[in-house]
Structure 1
Amino acid sequence: MKHFFLATLFLAMTSLVFAQEKPRKSPHVTAEANGIKVVYGQPSKNGRVIFGTLEPFGKVWRTGADEATEITFSKDVVFGGKPVKAGTYTLFSIPDPKTWTVILNGKLGQWGAYDYDKNKGEDVVQVKVPRQKLSTPAEKLTFTLPANAVVFEWDDTKVSVPVK
């Protein structure tokens, strides 16, 4: 009986050690305001050239790190001029030197953009918005939610999508 107890205790302790999550390189953060919530992995620049190099122009990006970024609207909105029902969506983008495509996709729980396929019919909307060049680079990807917009900044880029 004593050996059974010790074996059970050993298994329980081992399970606790292995069950702990590894620390992430990019913290997961939430931006929330005006009935909009964005949950994303927040990567850092770390001296790298981000857009056009680390994140190639013309290729779908998860708009964050790790799991694909998710955005929730508490009520129906007009996102970049297009109607969107209240709910949660995966947010992707396609970087470009001048005009970015921002995508709301209906498939949740995606890791990165590896499963993204524009031909699956899961996109809810795609909007094109101008890229704004920042005079001072942003070290960390940061979403802000001022009245009437979803804004994200990283490296030398700022993207703003109007929301009504």
Structure 2
Amino acid sequence: MKKIISTIFACFAMLVLLSFDAQAQEALKQKPSPLGMVTYSFEDTYVKVTYGRPHLRGRESFTATSELAPLGKVWRTGANEATEITVTDTINMAGEVVPAGTYSVFTIPGAKSWTIILNKDVGQWGAYKYDEEKDLLRFEVPVSKSDQLFEPFTIRFDQVEGEVSLQMIWANTMVSIPIEF
């Protein structure tokens, strides 16, 4: 009888340990900057942006000394993997022609304007291997201030009176990229 009770106890203990191990494994998989995705459709054209959503957590962004997104340096435009945009048909972004395809999105934040970069090299981690030679295009957009504070970096589509823009917002800094279909 002692042997049966010992066996049952050992099995129970093993199940408890496995349960804790599974919970620990799941906690390790969760990224501190969760994945975000936004989409917009117009007629037969579909635009999707996939990006990591870093949070400020008391830190600064868009300053010369920021570790998150320093002014004047190429930024992955989010966290983790480089942000990617997919378009299913040709669109115009800030007057620039963007053919159908998937591109990495990099930016160079500035105090008054940002350089937006669409790069043909997709699947990158961060901007560590960013190669300017693979840029599809670059253009500038002005910086504005958001009326509200955004703790997580946020990318969204905004439509006002038939005009569509892709907005990138963090803290109270915002850039809007006009899109034409």
TM-score by length of 1: 0.83
1:76, 1:146 → 2: CA distance? 19
Residue 68 (structure 1) shift = 0.4
Residue 19 (structure 1) shift = 8.2
Residue 74 (structure 1) shift = 1.6
Whichever structure has more helix as a proportion of its residues is 2
1:106, 1:19 → 2: CA distance? 34
Code of the residue aligned with 2:178 in structure 1: it is: P
Unaligned runs of 5+ in 2: 1-17
Code of the residue aligned with 2:40 in structure 1: it is: A
1:146, 1:134 → 2: CA distance? 13
Q: Is contact 1:56-1:95 (8 Å) kept?
A: yes
1:91 to 105, 114, 119: 105
2:171 counterpart residue number:
155
TM superposition outliers: structure 1 runs of 4+ over 4 Å: 16-21
The higher radius of gyration belongs to 2
Q: Is contact 1:57-1:94 (8 Å) kept?
A: yes
1:3 counterpart residue number:
none
Code of the residue aligned with 2:84 in structure 1: it is: E
2:78 counterpart residue number:
64
Unaligned runs of 5+ in 1: 1-12
Q: Is 2:141 the counterpart of 1:134?
A: no
Q: Deviations over 1:77-127 (max 9, x none)?
A: 111111110111000100000010011000010000000121xx2101101
Residue 134 (structure 1) shift = 2.2
1:45 to 56, 69, 89: 56
Code of the residue aligned with 1:134 in structure 2: it is: S
2:55, 2:25 → 1: CA distance? 27
